[in-house]
Amino acid sequence: MKKLISKAIIGKIVYKVETDKSFDITFKDLEKSIKNNNFSIPGIHDLKKTYTKANLPLDKDFEYTIVQLCNAKSSHKALTKLSYDMGVMMPKSIIIAREDGKTTLRFMKMKPAMVGMMFPDLNIAPMSKKIMGTLKKIVDEAIQ
């Protein structure tokens, strides 16, 4: 029962897609899509390398990388014109992984209404909606 509930909740807050493309090709396509949508990549966290350095056991096909992305113009506006507190939602992250023979991409969906409730004095729901739409576009382009 707990797994069923967890899966239902995750589906509401995590956008996840899969592809038959290899991890490496999907990663390159993700990088291209990020750049084509006016974001940069300030950080890449390869957990395979992290776990290997820590001598932790891994399946031979383990791949799990967190790609951080940033739209400098939007984040600059959010921090300098609206609130430093908005930094808790930056940078955005997209995860690329190998799972059950497939390459998956996922990110956390921040509902614009929820973001609006976090910052009631700011009218940021429209900006949040736009950013979530762009993240979805980036991921969908990467798997095509």
Across the range 82-99, mean pLDDT stands at 93
* Mean pLDDT on 72-79: 91
Other beta carbons less than 10 A from residue 19's beta carbon:
17
Mean pLDDT over all residues of the chain?
91
pLDDT at position 26 is 98
Mean pLDDT, rounded, for 78-92: 90
Answer with the residue of higher pLDDT: 69 or 125: 69
Entry pTM: 0.89
Q: Which tokens in the block code for residue 95?
A: 């995860």
pLDDT tens digits for 6-41? 666 666 789 999 999 999 999 999 999 999 999 999
- What pLDDT score was predicted for residue 133? 94
* Domains within the chain, CATH numbers bracketed: 15-143 (3.30.310.70)
The answer to whether 23 touches 101, Cβ cutoff 8 Å, is: no
Q: Beta-carbon neighbour count of residue 93 at 10 Å?
A: 15
